[in-house]
With several copies, the nearest count.
Chain A
């Protein structure tokens, strides 16, 4: 079993209304040190395989095809052995 952790974030330059709203919210709550917030997605996939290089290929493909929207998002991921 492998665990894929996938991070999907907006490409730089793409407007992030969520991040802005959260950033303004935090500032209004008094957290003045926060200079910028970006919000993305985090996914955990359990894979029924132990073959890392196979998994890598598949996860990358899933990201490209479904999990990230290549128009505005980019992704990265890590693979871990699952206990």
Chain B
């Protein structure tokens, strides 16, 4: 075969040699196509697998760790939560609406594939800055796409995050997370066991959509990416909704052994992964696959990424029942082959053999690369930056308002009001708080959900940034009274063949792993997205953490909103002079530099445990973590949410701007009724958590003094206006 051919499909000369070795002959065109998609980074994780092994993945409550379509965590009563996050960055860069929509569709399929009823979505987004019309176009399309697909499915999008930074201009990050609920006895896995069993395709017909999408996701974006547009697929949420209902009915009737969605690399990946997990083989006749277009070749059928399709292995004799259920829901269900004993994927076209490859060769024998790692040169200069000569602001009220209007801190309502976050009537706390809480009908339990990740921190120190992403996600859950249980993650990085990127990737995983261990939140799965570069420039290294947790009694939850006049404000944790990587430094002083705030995981754990305990004992009326923007923004957000002001005095020798805007970690603001104050202070002492009484809720403005001297006093209404109107105004152009 001409090297041109396989190189165009993304295979290297060495990889091609390895294929020849495995097969003991020259592969044909169809086979090369199958190898190229399965050995792409997207499916084969060839650049990341050894590093991902570093993640802690075990805990008694983890029912399914990485390796399946989604992770599963035990939540008691024979129930479990199923969840996973995935990127759709490149498709969204090219076609924002369809790109994000099909991203949602794909991640939802990963959930009901396991037998779970999907119950919620989250979205983690990164865009360029909103002064750029192209960025506004992308954000508009991405949000509309998520809204279109998720709303139509009847899934509430209950939380998420969005950050804006020039590094993401032209290469947005669109990570979607889906969450499902299941009775443990209904769990199904993506395996094709039982020699002689049928293999069926259900759902949409197959067209020429997205051929080589998986390979495309594993390349840098370039001018001619626009030319490769056929890679973009169109989503049909209506059909997916039918597919959900039909699949869950099929599982409830106990008709199947395993199923898997046809995502990236379509029929190729679903079939060989199912066979490989079960140590079986498969014989498939592509002529039997229902088509949408005429004249499709076996190659095209095997590689098509048409959406809303599932591969199913029914129990013996259940084919007809599966077909009947699908028909009731208006879906195709067709037997296209059977499970075989010899571990070989045998693809036929009208009976004629067109490909013959060992299933394991496509999955397990994917080459793995230990990439050379090199600490980037920019780090020393940036980390050692000296901020002592930074001019001190004159008007702190004005600085506060400017920060509140910064799109990274401003209200994200422009986004989430386009999402139906209430459908299913389980959303007890929706977007706008630290974490979303869903009730589990028929129990007293609640599920806590959040996503987090700060690319700027990771750019300045990937290990620390990775650890902070996990710690902050957990902190967000703890502030609502929810105990964190596990994470899924999406690792968005540049080209891993560059030693600097490989280093960032490795460091971030190390940092995340440490935090996961300390916080007892194992990794149950995730997704890697490399090659997030445009014109050779990588986006900020951006690991995104999706976390789930449990609250045993949902009535004991807590929100960030100030509730009552005279509630005492207590700050847990210590404020250090840490403005490196802060929003304040960027917005007011136009610098992205310094070291991110340090993270002491032991302290982090203590602060979070103490917060959850105080909430569980009913001592707390509001809790909110200190994150981007620092303590001043935390106070402002709680005041805005509760439409109630506060009088605050901070005793400290720090410079006022450091004190107010430093993003020191492991800090949580609590509001407690006066009667509970002593109890909370004692609890802090017992746990060794640094604690300070800093004021009380009162009035309709936020007044902050330092050592008794007033530094600002701003109306809550005025803060709210700035905060709420910022993104809508920017989006209006």
* A–B contact at 8 Å CB threshold (below): yes
Which A residues lie at the B interface, using CB under 8 A? 10, 13-17, 20-21, 24, 28, 69-72
Question: Could you say which residues of chain B place their CB within 8 Å of the CB of A16?
Answer: 234
Question: Could you say which residues of chain B place their CB within 8 Å of the CB of A20?
Answer: 236
Known A14-B234, A15-B233; judge A71-B239 contact (CB<8 A).
no
- Given A15-B307, A71-B229, 8 more contacts at CB 8 Å? A15-B236, A15-B292, A70-B229, A71-B94, A71-B95, A71-B98, A72-B98, A72-B234
Is B733's CB within 8 Å of the partner chain A? Answer: yes
Asked whether B293 lies within 8 Å of A28 as measured between CB atoms, the reply is no
| Distance from A20 Cβ to chain B, minimum over Cβ atoms (Å) | 8
| Distance from A42 Cβ to chain B, minimum over Cβ atoms (Å) | 17
Question: Could you say which residues of chain A place their CB within 8 Å of the CB of B95?
Answer: 69, 71-72
Cα–Cα, bound, A16→B98 (Å): 12
Is B207's CB within 8 Å of the partner chain A? Answer: yes
Asked whether A17 lies within 8 Å of B239 as measured between CB atoms, the reply is yes
Question: Could you say which residues of chain A place their CB within 8 Å of the CB of B235?
Answer: 17
Is B238's CB within 8 Å of the partner chain A? Answer: yes
Q: Which residue of A lies closest to B91 (CB)?
A: A71
Question: Could you say which residues of chain A place their CB within 8 Å of the CB of B234?
Answer: 10, 14-17, 72
Q: Which residue of B lies closest to A12 (CB)?
A: B293
Q: Which residue of A lies closest to B233 (CB)?
A: A15
Q: How many residues of B contact A (CB 8 A)?
A: 22
Question: Could you say which residues of chain A place their CB within 8 Å of the CB of B204?
Answer: 15
Cα–Cα, bound, A70→B307 (Å): 20
Asked whether B209 lies within 8 Å of A15 as measured between CB atoms, the reply is yes
Question: Could you say which residues of chain B place their CB within 8 Å of the CB of A13?
Answer: 207-208, 230, 293
Is B495's CB within 8 Å of the partner chain A? Answer: no
Which B residues lie at the A interface, using CB under 8 A? 94-95, 98, 204, 207-209, 229-230, 232-236, 238-239, 292-293, 306-307, 330, 733
Among A17, A21, A28, A71, the residue within 8 A (CB) of B733 is: A28
Question: Could you say which residues of chain B place their CB within 8 Å of the CB of A72?
Answer: 95, 98, 229, 232, 234
Asked whether A21 lies within 8 Å of B238 as measured between CB atoms, the reply is yes
Known A24-B330, A69-B95, A72-B95; judge A15-B306 contact (CB<8 A).
yes
Can you name 9 A-B residue pairings with CB atoms under 8 Å? Answer: A10-B234, A13-B207, A15-B209, A15-B234, A16-B234, A17-B235, A71-B98, A71-B232, A72-B232
| Distance from A8 Cβ to chain B, minimum over Cβ atoms (Å) | 14
Question: Could you say which residues of chain B place their CB within 8 Å of the CB of A15?
Answer: 204, 207, 209, 233-234, 236, 292, 306-307
Question: Could you say which residues of chain A place their CB within 8 Å of the CB of B98?
Answer: 71-72
Cα–Cα, bound, A10→B233 (Å): 12
Cα–Cα, bound, A14→B102 (Å): 14
Interface of A is mostly: loop
Q: Which residue of A lies closest to B208 (CB)?
A: A13
- A-B interface, 6 closest residue pairs, ranked by CB to CB distance from nearest: A17-B236, A15-B234, A71-B95, A71-B229, A13-B208, A71-B232
Asked whether B292 lies within 8 Å of A17 as measured between CB atoms, the reply is no
Asked whether A17 lies within 8 Å of B232 as measured between CB atoms, the reply is no
Q: Which residue of B lies closest to A25 (CB)?
A: B733
| Distance from A24 Cβ to chain B, minimum over Cβ atoms (Å) | 7
Question: Could you say which residues of chain A place their CB within 8 Å of the CB of B207?
Answer: 13, 15
Question: Could you say which residues of chain A place their CB within 8 Å of the CB of B733?
Answer: 28
| Distance from A77 Cβ to chain B, minimum over Cβ atoms (Å) | 22
Question: Could you say which residues of chain A place their CB within 8 Å of the CB of B94?
Answer: 71
Question: Could you say which residues of chain B place their CB within 8 Å of the CB of A10?
Answer: 234
Question: Could you say which residues of chain B place their CB within 8 Å of the CB of A14?
Answer: 209, 234
Question: Could you say which residues of chain A place their CB within 8 Å of the CB of B307?
Answer: 15
| Distance from A78 Cβ to chain B, minimum over Cβ atoms (Å) | 26
Cα–Cα, bound, A69→B235 (Å): 15
Question: Could you say which residues of chain A place their CB within 8 Å of the CB of B292?
Answer: 15
Cα–Cα, bound, A14→B231 (Å): 11
Question: Could you say which residues of chain A place their CB within 8 Å of the CB of B239?
Answer: 17
| Distance from B463 Cβ to chain A, minimum over Cβ atoms (Å) | 39
Q: Which residue of A lies closest to B232 (CB)?
A: A71
| Distance from B729 Cβ to chain A, minimum over Cβ atoms (Å) | 15
Q: Which residue of B lies closest to A21 (CB)?
A: B238
Q: Which residue of B lies closest to A16 (CB)?
A: B234
Question: Could you say which residues of chain B place their CB within 8 Å of the CB of A17?
Answer: 234-236, 238-239
Most buried by B among A15, A16, A72: A15
Question: Could you say which residues of chain A place their CB within 8 Å of the CB of B306?
Answer: 15
Most buried by B among A13, A28, A71: A71
| Distance from A15 Cβ to chain B, minimum over Cβ atoms (Å) | 4
Question: Could you say which residues of chain A place their CB within 8 Å of the CB of B208?
Answer: 13
Cα–Cα, bound, A71→B234 (Å): 11
Question: Could you say which residues of chain A place their CB within 8 Å of the CB of B229?
Answer: 70-72
Cα–Cα, bound, A71→B233 (Å): 10
Cα–Cα, bound, A13→B304 (Å): 12
Question: Could you say which residues of chain A place their CB within 8 Å of the CB of B209?
Answer: 14-15
Question: Could you say which residues of chain B place their CB within 8 Å of the CB of A70?
Answer: 229
Cα–Cα, bound, A71→B239 (Å): 22
Q: Which residue of B lies closest to A14 (CB)?
A: B234
Question: Could you say which residues of chain B place their CB within 8 Å of the CB of A24?
Answer: 330
Question: Could you say which residues of chain B place their CB within 8 Å of the CB of A28?
Answer: 733
